[in-house]
């Protein structure tokens, strides 16, 4: 299978699938040993095992959007199948699918965020390759003068 790479040059290759798998399991995408999260959705600043820094990751809202797509497809398809197969009251449907939606969403949120951080690490995005994203956030006036001041 051909390796998928989004960023970086001809540096030593990082396996995207291995990094995403390690992140999905809540482990360091680099070594696979250290914990990626210090709280439910708070990423550690660095790996306690290998020292890889995570503080610059930029997962933002992507994990939530991915979870919405996954859960939406799972729940809606099962809802339609149950509705077609049997006559279940609307209150029963709401109790089943509302509860299941919340539980599955919460269960998937941290693993999906870990996979997104692993994807960023493997492709050297947002500081994982040694570069920073500071040039994206610098005010226009500072770019015009070239001195970095506003």
Asked whether 64 and 105 are in contact (CB, 8 A), the reply is: no
Other C-beta atoms closer than 10 Å to the C-beta of 24 total 20
Task: Please tell me the distance from the alpha carbon of residue 123 to that of residue 108, in angstroms, as a whole number.
Answer: 23
Mean pLDDT of the 82-95 span:
91
| Percent of the residues in the chain that have a pLDDT greater than 70, as a whole number | 77
| CA separation, residue 87 to residues 82, 84, 107, 146 (Å) | 8, 8, 29, 69
Asked whether 21 and 106 are in contact (CB, 8 A), the reply is: no
pLDDT greater than 80 at residue 147: no
Reference 64, options 100, 113, 118; nearest CA is 113
pTM score of the predicted model: 0.76
């Amino acid at each position: 299978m051909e390796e998928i790479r989004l960023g970086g040059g001809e540096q030593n290759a990082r396996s995207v699938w291995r990094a995403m798998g390690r992140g999905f399991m809540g482990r360091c995408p680099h070594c696979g040993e250290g914990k990626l999260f210090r709280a439910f959705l708070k990423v550690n600043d660095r790996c306690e095992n290998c020292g890889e820094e995570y503080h610059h990751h930029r997962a933002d809202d992507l994990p939530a959007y991915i979870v919405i797509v996954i859960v939406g497809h799972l729940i809606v398809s099962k809802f339609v199948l149950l509705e077609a197969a049997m006559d279940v009251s609307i209150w029963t449907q709401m109790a089943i699918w509302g509860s299941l939606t919340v539980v599955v969403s919460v269960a998937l949120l941290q693993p999906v965020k870990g996979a997104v951080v692993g994807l960023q690490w493997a492709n050297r995005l947002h500081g994982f390759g040694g570069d920073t994203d500071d040039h994206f956030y610098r005010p226009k006036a500072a770019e015009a003068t070239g001195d970095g001041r506003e």
